[in-house]
A and B are shown apart, each in its own frame.
Chain A
């Protein structure tokens, strides 16, 4: 279709002979070709939320992280079913037992998943426990089985488990601690506390951040100044000692549940400045947008401008920022509990479990006590990846 001249040009210069005149002969219908952004009707109808979702969906790592987190949180109400043992079940014969591996091959033939049992001897020379794997007796693991009884949601008794130890043996996938309690089960139970600490803490921090950041950003002037200075002071205080001081101030006679809420509130109280700043800067930027000015010129009331124009436009950014600060809550709780100043047994969180691994000798001899670090890392990374994805998707129009 292209009929552009391909012949060589005569000598050039301002007075040169004419450049050939070319006119495209393809049909031209301007009416039919009104330049729209995208012809797809789905795109034309899509709301901001849909666009955010489409953009988020392209961030593969974020989607995987989100799925991991959804699975983790969805499992929280059912930890009793998932954990093979109860939270406090002790095995006197298996103190500090190392992790057992699941096998499917026994003497060259395929079996259902099974474990080899341990035989325990006390080494009189080194004063250590020796667990010998008995390779002759495979003990098949049971699935969808009836095992240790528990009281489900405090409502009724049940004994159904997804996985149970072999009938005549034990199964410690991540070893046991100094009282012979199964680490794997305890980590699963610990997730309940560790994962919710972040959510409760972020709720506190979100409310505070929204309130102070909103005041600073919308009112400006001296209110803004005071809040900014307050934030700077809070941010300049060293975080860990402050946590320590505040949690040490929690009365020792509080019930574990109260302590739990105390800790989350402390974490939230110290985390809000970051969010408040995000809110403030976003508000300041949005206030300059033409559509906010348009609403002001229409005579819209303040509450309408905030409710209809400002909040919908910065909420997605805010949720992304909040997601990114959940990991610091989880890490904060873990650190406090590890130092023995956070949650206390019998409440079990990953930090409380790690508290057992404080002793260097214990870590040296029984490295599996550090296993709770693995879920902490997974959850923190997942939140970070998901938060990154959300942040990128939060503004679907750029």
Chain B
């Protein structure tokens, strides 16, 4: 006897109506969610994967309507199954009884999904008591049991904490507890790990698949990350612009991808076992970038030594803890960081959120000054300390070192046309006549593969990837020598990400640029960088050329980071057991000789040529 799937979605179509324009968000989507399996819904932003989940949960926005199709729910324990959810009133009694009980959802941002004014325990028991008539103390017992199960330490204490007291990973665990407390038949996880650091991500992914095996529920995992899919999904559904382009089980999808879009996605994501010089193939390549950029090569003197170097820079921020106490707390964001950037090379700076990498980049930009140490820059006439630069020299430094922002939406002034945006740096620095500025702007646009007609348009009319290319074009306007890229692709879809990364590589080659590439994504840094520095808690813990760092990482933190990146490859699954132990970013818990006692800085030691690792005092004594 064959068992019917838990969910059968057939020919589902959803339209959005806004400003008199009807947009088809879903165009005939059909797939099944079998019992006890994880189905991954993969696609880039705007592909309709979240809309599908919203339609299933009955939480579509007001502007959206289901125009056709059915969502059949075969709830095992119900006599009236199958139930067509597309026919139910989204705010009706039946739907409300299902939502939060038989099917639950966790979201990307655990901070905004939990109410800051209620304790975690209150929110989790509320979910339980809405669907079960039990007295509060019973609900509390159930909640504490679930907390224990999702790996929250000390459930009784967690019950009474507020969301802001928990870290991102703990909050996501609390969200999962809330979703699971009613033992749902289906858990929808909408990008559950996108906002988390890689090490935390691995732990949450393991938790979700463990819980699924234990409870027998089905999971619909919405993600853009094929690496995550390869590690936890049973079945894969690939969406593109409101349609399913390919679906099947995991083996088939990864071993035998057929659709050109899926193949393009797989080639677009950087992975660790790429051959040297191997190029990513984006969905859409920026045409002629290399050619055009080569014509624009500036005639600058190339320094003999490093173009930029930081020596032992430190920065401490002072926080005021109470209004009346007058007590202050010192947070050491960066301590004794030394970096060297050679001309024409890329230096990767890797670390999880809060490790101090952004502070370092801001000190290099001279947006903040280091407490101690020096940053020196060489424009061909020898190294000079940038903190001493004033007036004209400072302006020259600002011309030579440009910044590329993470958020393609926030970094372009919405009230300026592309022409104004691209010529602004030249105006500020009084470069060229109006005619020359115009010609330069057109050339910059061509360099990043955009049409000349774009000059008259405003930023709102460009997609994320196009905006990021505009940001790059603006950074290149003054023919800089150094580009500081702060997570330049982390806000972009994979297919666009490859395009931007390739563009940056081509431009580097053509214009002889040096990059400092800041990112939390090791695979991206691996693709871009020549030298890599790994940061943790304000320290650089390991620094080495790319091949060395990836082939022979020594430091436990680097190893954990490398192990935690999910590869879109069935033959390299995540080693959950290794990542479970947990506190990789806690220097006091690193094994000897890397362990740093509380407040200890340790020191870098050259273990092989060009390969530096931070050792604790005990470790150095032993060595």
Contacts and interface: CB of A to CB of B under 8 A. Distances in A.
B462 A12 contact: no
Interface residues of B, number: 71
B353 to A, nearest CB: 18
Interface string A17-54: 01111111010101101111110000111111001001
Contact of B244 (A4, A19, A291, A313): A4
19 contacts: A2-B30, A11-B2, A18-B251, A20-B248, A21-B252, A24-B243, A37-B463, A38-B461, A45-B457, A58-B19, A290-B405, A290-B410, A294-B405, A295-B424, A298-B425, A299-B399, A304-B428, A308-B424, A397-B460
Given A4-B244, A30-B284, A33-B241, A19 B414 contact: no
Interface string A304-338: 10001100110000000000000000000000000
B259 A28 contact: yes
Contact of B461 (A2, A11, A13, A43): A43
Nearest to B493: A35
Given A9-B32, A21-B252, A24-B259, A51 B245 contact: no
A221 B410 CA distance: 26
Contacts of A364: none
A296 interface: yes
A6 B283 contact: no
A93 B414 CA distance: 66
A297 interface: yes
A46 B367 contact: no
B414 A397 contact: yes
Given A51-B460, A290-B410, A12 B36 contact: yes
A300 interface: yes
Interface string A47-80: 1100100100010000000000000000000000
A30 B16 CA distance: 23
A297 B424 contact: no
A301 B430 CA distance: 12
A20 B213 CA distance: 22
B411 A294 contact: yes
Find the residue from A20, A290, A293 having the highest chain B CB count within 10 A.
Answer: A290
B113 interface: no
A19 B235 contact: yes
B90 to A, nearest CB: 25
Find the residue from B253, B395, B428, B456 having the highest chain A CB count within 10 A.
Answer: B428
Interface residues of A, number: 57
Interface in A107-157: none
Interface stretch (B4-12, B134-142, B579-587): B4-12
B249 interface: yes
A1 interface: yes
B35 A12 contact: yes
Given A18-B249, A18-B251, A24-B259, A31 B4 contact: no
A283 B2 CA distance: 64
B375 interface: no
B413 interface: yes
Nearest to B427: A304
Given A22-B244, A34-B284, A295-B424, A28 B3 contact: no
A80 B425 CA distance: 56
Contacts of A43: 461
Contacts of A290: 405, 407, 410-411
A249 interface: no
B461 A37 contact: yes
A1 B411 contact: no
A8 interface: yes
Given A37-B461, A299-B429, A12 B37 contact: yes
B460 A37 contact: yes
Contact of A23 (B31, B245, B398): B245
A10 interface: yes
- Nearest first, the 3 A-B pairs at minimum CB distance are A21-B248, A4-B30, A290-B411
A18 B425 CA distance: 57
Given A18-B248, A43-B461, A31 B284 contact: yes
A289 interface: yes
B458 interface: yes
Given A46-B458, A313-B415, A22 B247 contact: yes
Interface of B: 2-5, 10-11, 19, 28, 30-32, 34-37, 46, 213, 234-235, 240-241, 243-249, 251-253, 256, 258-261, 264, 283-284, 365, 367, 394-395, 398-399, 402-403, 405, 407, 410-417, 424-425, 428-429, 456-458, 460-463, 466, 474, 495
A278 B463 CA distance: 31
A19 B410 contact: no
Contacts of B417: 47
Given A37-B460, A293-B405, A297-B402, 12 more contacts: A2-B30, A9-B2, A12-B5, A13-B37, A14-B36, A14-B234, A16-B37, A23-B258, A30-B264, A37-B461, A293-B367, A313-B414
Given A289-B410, A293-B367, A12 B34 contact: yes
Nearest to A291: B413
B398 A24 contact: no
Contact of B413 (A23, A26, A47, A313): A313
Given A2-B30, A299-B428, A26 B243 contact: yes
A20 B34 CA distance: 12
A35 B11 CA distance: 24
Contacts of B461: 36-38, 43-46
Contacts of A34: 284, 463
A59 B253 CA distance: 48
Given A24-B259, A36-B462, A294-B411, A9 B244 contact: no
Given A8-B2, A37-B461, A45-B456, A297 B367 contact: yes
Nearest to B3: A11
Nearest to A288: B410
A70 to B, nearest CB: 24
B492 to A, nearest CB: 12
Nearest to B457: A44
B491 to A, nearest CB: 11
A28 to B, nearest CB: 5
